[in-house]
Amino acid sequence: MNRLFTGLQVALLAVTVTAGANAAVPPLLPAVATVHIKDFKYHLPDLTVHVGDRVTFINDDDEAHTVTATDKSFDSEGLDTAGTWQHVFTKPGTHHYFCELHPYMKATIVVLPAAAK
């Protein structure tokens, strides 16, 4: 976090830092899918997973981004450059999410019922 931020980003990051001041960056666990955030877009913008699947989000941009559910059921909060966040999807359905810092950034994850084993 040694770059310049806009006021909005500073405000958001301040909240994030306060919440996780002493939290070490958690190790990445195996995930079924990885969404890279690059050039102000989520790749993949349309992803299908199953209930219980873990998805990794990685910010490849020089700008901070978030992964925030439209219904707020999940929220990565600010991800700095190279920041990562993982989420296990537990509710089937179509989950729309966006970046709180750049609300035009939108994507969807479809969560299907747990895969038969």
Report the alpha-carbon distance of residue 24 to residue 46 in Å, rounded: 30
102 binds Cu ion (CB under 5 A): yes
Q: Which residue is nearest to Cu ion (CB)?
A: 99
Q: Which of 35, 49, 99, 107 binds Cu ion (CB under 5 A)?
A: 99
> Considering beta carbons, is residue 49 or 99 the nearer one to Cu ion?
99
65 binds Cu ion (CB under 5 A): yes
Q: Residue 43 burial by CB count (10 A; 0-12/13-18/19+): exposed, middle or buried? A: middle
State the DSSP H helix or E strand holding residue 7, giving kind and residue range, or none if neither.
helix 7-19
Least distance to Cu ion from the beta carbon of 2, Å? 19
Least distance to Cu ion from the beta carbon of 61, Å? 7
CB 98 within 8 A of CB 70: yes
Interaction mask 1-40, Cu ion, x per CB under 5 A: ----------------------------------------
Q: CA–CA distance from 71 to each of 63, 68, 77 (Å)?
A: 24, 8, 14
